[in-house]
Amino acid sequence: MTRDQRPLGSGFTAASTSTDVIDGLDLTGRNVIVTGGHGRLGREITRTLAAAGASVTVASRDPHRARSALTGIEHVQVEQLDLTDPASIDAFTRGWIRTGRPLHALVNNAAVMFSPELRHDARGNEISFSTSHLGHFQLTRSLVPALIQASGSRVLTVTSGAARFGGIRWDELAFRTGYDGGTAYAQSKRANVLFTVELDRRHADDGIRAFAAHPGVVIGPGPHHPDALASYRAQGLVDENGATVIDPGAGKKTVAQGAATPVFGAVSPVLDGFGGLYLKDSDVAVLDDTVRPLTAGSIPSDANSAMLDPADAERLWAVSEQLLA
């Protein structure tokens, strides 16, 4: 599955924006769902796809807040979806299927990031795994009929370079012991890539191709919360004055640059004929199995073999089915 994990020469760079990668594409008549499509990156993904003519449905646990964040963007509908609640996902997907609309792209973007305290959903699943992986697993599988109906569709799951560092705690997925927000986030983002690999293996022949995209590190323009500044400084994400550092080549991006790779993965014809791959900087990422530490000057985010392991991907699929049974 990793044999295609090498850059295609898309012509885009780390500095490309979501508008750059969609230049010249007319998405009129295409239906897209973006989970959390009103958040920091989600809103820009939504705005870009809608500006190219797509009909975008933003799935949000708080539609009122989402509508207000999306004011001024046309071709957008907002519907209720809480990814930690199987009944909510069921209601959303039944509503979509009932309309008979094909689904051309599903952008699994929503996530819980670095929750400082250990939280579980009503079924006892750790909250970042529940939101980022299990919720999107149920959502995607229930929308397969609409994705097939599109006769050529994409499932783009927004992962993170953290997938490089994250393992799956097969015997302790729920972190009843040893919880750490960063480790739990990394597990959920590793799960996003493994899910992509197995989804593509199962459904490529149905015309559904799957990609996972690392957006880069995007903290937004600020001003930043005082509590976040020490950590941002340690990671080289803000300068001595607290201003955001933008250095796309080093992975530190604006919101528009961060939205580029997810948009590229969701709709770019450059990726036609491919699938099951991890994307970065609006291209297929390099495969690099060298052990590289995370430092203020370097945020390793290339693909590695572990995140794309087909046996782990199949195992996670089976475990996820059991957790949702």
Residue numbers at the binding site for ligand NAP (CB under 6 A)? 35-36, 38-42, 60-62, 81-84, 109-113, 131, 158, 160, 215, 217-218
Is 185 one of the annotated active-site residues of the chain?
Answer: yes
Instruction: List the catalytic residue out of 179, 185, 232, 278.
Output: 185
Tokens of 160: 């993170």
Strands (E), the chain: 31-35, 55-60, 76-80, 105-108, 153-158, 208-214, 277-280, 283-284
The H or E element that residue 258 is part of is helix 255-258
Q: CA 99, 192, 230, 291: dihedral to nearest 10 degrees? A: -160
Quick one: DSSP state of residue 297?
S
What gap in Å lies between CA 273 and CA 265, rounded to an integer? Answer: 12
User: Which CB, 42 or 276, lies closer to ligand NAP?
Assistant: 42
Tokens of 261: 């790779």
What gap in Å lies between CA 72 and CA 288, rounded to an integer? Answer: 42
User: Which CB, 237 or 270, lies closer to ligand NAP?
Assistant: 237
User: Which CB, 234 or 318, lies closer to ligand NAP?
Assistant: 234
Q: CA 76, 78, 83, 84: dihedral to nearest 10 degrees? A: 160
User: Which CB, 131 or 268, lies closer to ligand NAP?
Assistant: 131
Minimum Å gap between C-beta 103 and ligand NAP is 18
User: Which CB, 158 or 303, lies closer to ligand NAP?
Assistant: 158
Minimum Å gap between C-beta 133 and ligand NAP is 11
User: Which CB, 194 or 218, lies closer to ligand NAP?
Assistant: 218
Minimum Å gap between C-beta 131 and ligand NAP is 5
Minimum Å gap between C-beta 28 and ligand NAP is 26
Tokens of 10: 């898309």
Minimum Å gap between C-beta 160 and ligand NAP is 3
Report, in angstroms and rounded to the nearest whole number, the Rg of the chain calculated over CA atoms.
18
Minimum Å gap between C-beta 184 and ligand NAP is 12
Phi, psi of 199 (to 5 degrees): -60, -45
Give whole-number Cα distances, 194 to 128, 137, 157, 291, in Å: 16, 11, 11, 20
**277-280 and 208-214 as β-strands: parallel, antiparallel, unpaired?**
parallel
What are the catalytic residues?
185
